[in-house]
């Protein structure tokens, strides 16, 4: 095993995450399923990439000046990434998030020194939605910029320039499909665009949770949501600027129960402690692998994103009472 190259800046620790073959999902799909370990980023999630690119882009455009403030509305992980990047570069961070997100995310943001503002969860059309609240705060704060992760395409650029080339290199250019869920859309669109630049034949699939509208959009041309999900940070009801032009070839819709089954199995069988978005992504990768195998492709290899660590959800996904309150299956070791 070759040790990672030494880095001269803590920000250089963002990206270049490991890629791992997932045994159980590969057996279930009948092909190779690979997971990009984004929990290995300094902020323990894929959102570190978008945070760094958004801040660097604002600096390059002259909008973010020394001593300035970055304000963002987020389900939590982007805020954690922004807080760490701001600490490293001498900026302040103000994070607005819905108050139904995990306690661990809120505690982490406070521990990192970010100013945390919580608001009740509401529809995007409501002016009190966390995104609109963060935009107003940025407009009212001297020396502040609004990160605007949903419609700032520096987000997807981070995946075009880093995630996609890393996956291509790590898989030696032998990749047949890629899938993940969409929150802002930056990961699926940027990684898809980046991989398509290497090989147009790579199948890019959206994996959508219930309660989101994108499955119906890509399948039937209509933004229509069905059901609901407790997954944090994924699920979208509109075409964001980051999603605009995303090269989606096919789509899957995955239930929380199916996603949780992979969260359980990956922990119990392979020692990976992950969040529900990762479980949903893996379930989608299994579906994509099966589809490509059924189409007659040989030696199929599919990659997906392991978004963040399960340690961020100890009070929810890994808590028996919380799971029971949501009508979700309880992991056997928690039930006992």
Cα 30 from chain centroid (whole Å): 26
Q: Please give the positions annotated as active site.
A: 47
Q: Is 309 helix (H, G, I), strand (E, B) or coil?
A: strand
The candidate with the shortest Cα–Cα distance to 231, out of 76, 72, 47, 118, is: 76
**pLDDT of res. 124:** 87
**pLDDT of res. 50:** 98
The pTM for the full model equals: 0.96
Strand ranges across the sheet with 92-98: 115-119, 92-98, 69-73, 144-146
**pLDDT of res. 1:** 65
For 87-108, what is each residue's pLDDT tens digit? Answer: 999 999 999 999 988 889 999 9
Largest interatomic CA distance in the chain? 59
Instruction: Give the strand pairing for 32-37 and 177-180.
Output: unpaired
For 128-141, what is each residue's pLDDT tens digit? Answer: 999 999 999 999 99
Neighbours of 240 (CB within 10 A): 23
pLDDT band at 2 (very low <50, low <70, confident <90, very high): confident
**pLDDT of res. 60:** 97
Q: How far apart are CA 55 and CA 28, in angstroms?
A: 40
For the chain, which domains are there? 10-40+163-327 (3.40.50.1100), 47-146 (3.40.50.1100)
Average pLDDT over residues 214-224: 97
Tokens 């992991």 sit on residue: 331
pLDDT band at 127 (very low <50, low <70, confident <90, very high): very high
**pLDDT of res. 311:** 95
- Percent pLDDT > 70 in the chain is 100
For 247-300, what is each residue's pLDDT tens digit? Answer: 999 999 999 999 999 999 999 999 999 999 999 999 999 999 999 999 999 999
**pLDDT of res. 93:** 98
């Amino acid at each position: 095993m070759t040790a990672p190259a030494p880095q001269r800046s803590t920000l250089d620790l963002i990206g270049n995450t490991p890629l791992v073959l997932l045994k159980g999902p590969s057996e279930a799909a009948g092909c190779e399923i690979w997971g990009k370990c984004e929990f290995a980023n300094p902020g323990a999630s894929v959102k570190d990439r978008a945070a760094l690119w958004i801040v660097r882009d604002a600096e390059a455009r002259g909008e973010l000046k020394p001593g300035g403030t970055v304000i963002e509305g987020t389900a939590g992980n982007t805020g954690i990434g922004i807080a760490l990047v701001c600490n490293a570069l001498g900026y302040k961070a103000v994070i607005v998030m819905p108050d139904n997100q995990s306690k661990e995310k809120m505690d982490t943001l406070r521990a990192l020194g970010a100013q945390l503002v919580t608001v009740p969860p509401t529809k995007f059309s409501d002016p009190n939605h966390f995104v609109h609240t963060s935009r107003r705060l940025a407009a009212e704060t001297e020396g502040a910029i609004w990160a605007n992760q949903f419609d700032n395409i520096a987000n997807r650029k981070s995946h075009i320039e880093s995630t996609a080339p890393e996956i291509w290199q790590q898989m030696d250019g032998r990749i047949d499909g890629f899938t993940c869920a969409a929150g802002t859309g930056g990961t699926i669109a940027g990684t898809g665009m980046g991989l398509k630049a290497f090989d147009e034949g790579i199948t890019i699939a959206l994996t959508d949770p219930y309660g989101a509208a994108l499955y119906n959009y890509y399948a039937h041309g209509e933004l229509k949501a069905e059901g609901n999900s407790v997954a944090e940070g994924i699920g979208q009801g509109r075409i964001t600027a980051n999603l605009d032009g995303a090269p989606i070839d096919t789509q899957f819709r995955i239930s929380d129960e199916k996603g949780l089954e992979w969260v359980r199995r990956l922990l119990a069988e392979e020692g990976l402690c992950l969040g529900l978005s990762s479980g949903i992504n893996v379930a989608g990768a299994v579906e994509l692998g099966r589809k490509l195998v059924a189409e007659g492709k040989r030696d199929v290899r599919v990659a997906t994103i392991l978004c963040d660590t399960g340690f961020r959800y100890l009070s929810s996904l890994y808590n028996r009472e919380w799971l029971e309150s949501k009508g979700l299956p309880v992991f056997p070791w928690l039930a006992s």
